[in-house]
A = this chain, B = another copy of it.
Amino acid sequence: MDKRQRIIFTMLELVVKQGVYATPMSQVAKEANVAVGTIYHYFDNKQEILEEIYKMINQDYGVVLMANLPDTDFKTQFEAICLNLFNYYIGNPLAFKFMEFVAVPPLMPKELVEAVREYTAGLRDFFQKGIDEDHLRNDVELRLLMQTASGCITSAVKLKEMGAIELSEKEIKQVTEMAWDCVRKH
């Protein structure tokens, strides 16, 4: 892994474990095995590294979420997306925690937050199609519908990360059902 990558991943790891302000650049340097100055060769400042991580994770989202969708009915596709999200979160707990606990207002500038939403344009289109084709509630705003469904998933992963529940296949199935019940047209 090159130095730039090592800096990013070390920062991600430390910032999730310790918090942004308990993570000095000197520690990042040491644990990434580079000199402090080297960090500033690749990044303008600490904030920029954090924004880089934020963009990176959101880009991953966009790709991973819509991957390997089965060519079947809407509901099955919805479930596949949920599963994708679960797998990503469970496989990348650092990414999950960064998004939930680190990239919290007012850390990320408004413009970045908005820019990054474009990475998940695919998901938005999918939901819009669900509304248009009468699979999803059509009386609820698109943004609210999406947020509520993903909130169900997020809630579950949060509980798992706190050590409060397991998140085996059974629970994943249940939460996916709940998310579907939330947003589907009745």
A36-68 to B contact mask, C-beta < 8 Å, 1/0: 000000000000000000000000000000000
- Does A144 lie within 8 Å of B171, measured CB to CB? yes
Identify which of B19, B152, B174 contacts A106 (C-beta below 8 A): B19
Inter-subunit contact B183/A148 (CB<8 Å) = no
The size bracket of the interface on A is 35 or more
State whether B155 touches A18 (Cβ < 8 A). no
Number of copies of this chain that the complex holds: 4
What does the 1/0 interface line of A91-134 toward B look like (CB < 8 Å)?
00000010011101111000000000000000000000000000
- Kindly state the separation between the CA atoms of A102 and B156 in the bound complex, as whole angstroms: 20
Instruction: Indicate the member of A17, A141, A147, A186 with the most B CB atoms within 10 Å.
Output: A147
Binds B, one of A4-12, A75-83, A157-165: A157-165
A30 to chain B, nearest CB (A): 15
A17: chain B residues at CB < 8 Å are 106
Judged by a CB distance under 8 angstroms, whether A151 is at the interface is yes
* A175 proximal to B (CB < 8 A): yes
Question: What chain B residues lie within 8 Å of A158 (beta carbons)?
Answer: 147
- Supposing A151-B155, A181-B181 touch, asked if A174 and B19 sit within 8 A by C-beta, the answer is no
**Chain B: minimal CB distance from A117 (Å):** 10
Q: Nearest Cβ in chain B — how far from A137, in angstroms?
A: 8
Please, which residues of chain B bring their CB within 8 A of the CB of A148?
152, 155-156, 175, 178
Instruction: Name A178's contact: one of B21, B156, B164, B183 (CB within 8 Å).
Output: B183
